[in-house]
């Protein structure tokens, strides 16, 4: 299966009080969409930080809406999106249950996650969405779902292990030979140091 993986759009970013949304729109429309048209992926993945803040400005929301229309509406490409640490998981996922039938899969709240299973000529592929999951949010999810030992989740690593185990447990029984792709927004240890996020 061919996919394009992208992340950290940070729509609505301000740089010294100047909105970057117009520049971001130009990049998405004139650089990203031509790559999509050239590569013709089976699915596009956006691994968090869709917006630069929890309350994105109206023009940033409009830009994301236009991009979903371009990708899913006009090109018919499934689009899987997860929330990152800059996004409001709940706001990003508004109407997400309804939009799944159209090919737009948006995941934010941890208690509403489910695998997205797509098929190609070699069979099913399970995409396992794992939005940004700080330990406190994972504990809340565990308590909401009646999972035991929530109080033991203290670190990001423990939170990710719980979340990935949960996602694997949601796969259908015939999922043993299924290809699986995790889509996560995480802090990774051991990377190059940088002043940029």
Taking the mean position of all CA atoms in its chain, how far away is CA 149? 27
Query: Quick check: is 197 in a domain?
Result: no
* pLDDT value, residue 93: 86
* pLDDT value, residue 33: 98
* pLDDT value, residue 189: 65
Taking the mean position of all CA atoms in its chain, how far away is CA 161? 18
Query: Quick check: is 189 in a domain?
Result: no
Q: Provide the residue range defining the domain that includes 26.
A: 3-184
d(CA 192, CA 180): 27
Query: Quick check: is 143 in a domain?
Result: yes
Reading the chain (197 residues) residue by residue, the pLDDT tens digits are 999 999 999 999 998 889 899 999 999 999 999 999 999 999 999 999 999 999 999 999 999 999 999 999 999 999 999 999 999 988 988 887 888 889 999 999 998 999 999 999 999 999 999 999 889 999 999 999 999 999 999 999 999 999 999 999 999 876 567 899 999 997 666 655 555 44
Query: Quick check: is 101 in a domain?
Result: yes
CA distances, 181 to each of 24, 41, 157 (Å):
28, 15, 18
Task: Give the helix/strand (H/E) hosting 174.
Answer: none
Q: How many domains does the chain have?
A: 1
Which CATH number belongs to the domain containing residue 167 in this structure? 3.60.21.10
* pLDDT value, residue 197: 47
* pLDDT value, residue 192: 55
Rounded to two decimals, the pTM is 0.90
* pLDDT value, residue 100: 86
d(CA 115, CA 127): 6
* pLDDT value, residue 98: 82
By the 8 A CB rule, do 84 and 44 touch? no
């Amino acid at each position: 299966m061919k996919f394009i993986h992208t992340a950290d759009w940070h729509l609505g970013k301000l740089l010294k009080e100047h909105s970057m949304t117009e520049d971001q729109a130009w990049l998405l429309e004139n650089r990203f969409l031509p790559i999509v048209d050239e590569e013709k992926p089976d699915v596009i993945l956006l691994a968090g930080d869709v917006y630069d803040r929890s309350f994105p400005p109206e023009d940033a929301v409009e830009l994301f809406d236009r991009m979903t229309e371009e990708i899913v509406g006009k090109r018919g490409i499934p689009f899987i999106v997860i929330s990152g640490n800059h996004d409001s998981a709940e706001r990003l996922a508004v109407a997400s249950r309804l939009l799944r039938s159209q090919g737009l899969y948006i995941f934010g709240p941890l208690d509403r996650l489910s695998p997205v299973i797509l098929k190609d000529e070699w069979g099913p592929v399970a995409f396992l969405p794992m939005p940004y999951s700080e330990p406190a949010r994972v504990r809340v999810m565990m308590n909401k779902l009646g999972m035991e030992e929530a109080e033991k989740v203290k670190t990001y690593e423990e939170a990710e292990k719980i979340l990935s185990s949960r996602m694997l447990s949601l796969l259908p029984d015939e999922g043993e030979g299924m290809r699986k792709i995790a889509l996560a927004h995480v802090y990774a240890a051991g990377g190059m140091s940088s002043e940029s996020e």
